[in-house]
Structure 1
Amino acid sequence: MKSKSIIFVVLVVFCTSTSTYVLAQTNSDLTNKELAENQRDANLLETILRQDQARKIDEQKRADEHSDAVYFAQKRNAERQKAGSINLSEATTKMPVKADYPARKAYNMWIIDEKKPTVPVKMLE
């Protein structure tokens, strides 16, 4: 009887320790998987934030270029008006007014305006 109870106790202890080890290993695997998923999520979030920051910097550069293009277009039109080759209403209507226009469009509009034949005001008098 004693040997059966000792075997039973040894068996119970063995099964308990084995199941505890298996559960601990399973929890460790789950923790590692969760850590890996959290790391992937963090990397993805960091990538998204970098792209957003790069997009904002790009938009700011385009807005600055547009502002510069508008300034130089106004300056050129003022110089041309002083020379008497265009009138003020034509100069102001040819310029883009929205801030979201790219600088290239403002430059192209100026080029198109430059290609038009203009008659100096002095010749009309």
Structure 2
Amino acid sequence: MAKDFARTERVAEQILRELAQMIRLAVKDPRVRKVTLTGVEVTNDYAHAKVFFTSLEGDTEGLQQGLERAAGFLRSQLAHAMKLRITPQLHFVYDASIERGAHLSQLIDQAVSADKKNDSHDA
């Protein structure tokens, strides 16, 4: 069973690499140019793959629409690039973890600076 899990992870990593290269080189949609793929989860039967993406541009709805529009093309290119019996359906999911991390970092910086101000006023 552990061997299947490791293969699923390797397939997911390979899909991530292939899709990143395809989006960069082959997709002509300008909405999709500024995307960063953050991860891929593949089901055990390889029928579906969740592709997590993020962007620093801010227009996530337009980006999601562009990716969904390109999904068929990307899947066909993926079938040529990878020799799998089943090429998974691609489902694009926005990954907000980077935004959350940046927001938390900002909050921590604010708390530290406020703490330093309180220490300097107390002294």
TM over 0.5: no
Higher strand content, 1 or 2: 2
Q: Please identify which structure carries the higher helix content.
A: 1
The TM-score bracket by the shorter chain reads 0.3 to 0.5
**Rg: which structure is higher?**
1
